[in-house]
Structure 1
Amino acid sequence: KWRAAFLAGAIGAPLLIQLAGKDIEFNVPVPTLALVVGGFLVGVGVHFGGGCPSGHGICGIARLSPRSFVAVATFMATAIVTVFVTRHVIGG
């Protein structure tokens, strides 16, 4: 039930704002396909990583879970490499 309520709110809130006469301006600097692929990859990572980065970083490390330490180190290393490649190799 909560998933349906979440989706309804995520779709309905912007529509209500527009009905109230406010402009919603989105500026996404990447193609829609890149967003879809990125979302898919995040979902795959969450599945195979056994949870989200926040869960591992906050709860897992607080419990001194070795799996969470490895997961957070992997997330951070991947993020650092991604930013480096995006900014310095590709030139984004």
Structure 2
Amino acid sequence: MALDLATLFPNGVSQYLLGGLFIGLATVSIYLGTGIHAGASTFLESTLSYVSDRKRFQQFRFVESRDWRVVFTGGIVLGAAAYTALSGDSWWTTEVQPWRLFVGGTLVGIGTRVGKGCTSGHGVCGVGSLAESSLLNVLTFVLVAAGTARLLLYAGVLP
């Protein structure tokens, strides 16, 4: 079976290449500016360090990185909002029921804690630096996601 790029990418690949370039430049900028790999999974802990006196949230790694993590995460949200506003696309673009999104998000959050990082941290920064733990995590993400999708499809579960 031949791979048909026109089917996979009906609008071309240039916007994906440009997006990848921007992600790579941002990742390098964050690393050079802070010495920390970019990733969104510690955003909650670092943000809670502003308002909570609990020892867990006052760890040096959270307090030290909280300012740039707020900017980083805000940029993700504002970038998506700006794109949506400028493109005229709908703000809600999925047919998946909200409860399924909630359950999926909860499972992703649990996986992020168990895997000690998120897909952006492991997938972009960890793989880019050839970290063995990140390569293993990304392989696990992909295999579990593909297996779950196939299992749900086989069970007749549709979005």
What is the CA-CA distance between 1:47 and the residue it aligns to? 1.4
Q: Distance in 2 between matches of 1:39 and 1:73?
A: 19
Partner of 1:83: 149
* Residue 47 to residue 26, structure 1, CA distance change in 2 (3 Å): same
Q: Find the counterpart in structure 2 of residue 50 from structure 1.
A: 116
- Report SS of the residue matched to 1:90: coil
Identity %: 33
Higher helix content, 1 or 2: 1
- 1:27: how far off? 5.2
* Aligned-residue RMSD, C-alpha: 2.9
Q: CA deviation at 1:41?
A: 1.2
The structure-2 alpha-carbon separation of the partners of 1:58 and 1:26, relative to structure 1 and needing over 3 Å to count, comes to closer
2:155 partner SS: helix
Deviation at 1:25, TM superposition (A): 6.1
**Aligned: 1:61 with 2:159:** no
Q: Deviations over 1:9-53 (max 9, x none)?
A: 76xx6xxx7xxxx8x563532322211111111111111111111
Q: Can you give the 5+ residue segments of structure 2 that lack an aligned partner in the other structure?
A: 1-66
TM-score normalised to structure 1 length: 0.64
Segments of 5+ residues of structure 1 without an aligned counterpart are none
Higher relative contact order (CA 8 A, sep 6+): 2
Query: What are the within-5 Å matches in structure 2 for residues 34-49 of structure 1?
Result: 34-49=100-115
89 and 52 in structure 1: CA distance in 2 versus 1, 3 angstrom threshold: same
**1:76 and 1:25, CA in 2 relative to 1: closer, same or farther beyond 3 A?**
closer
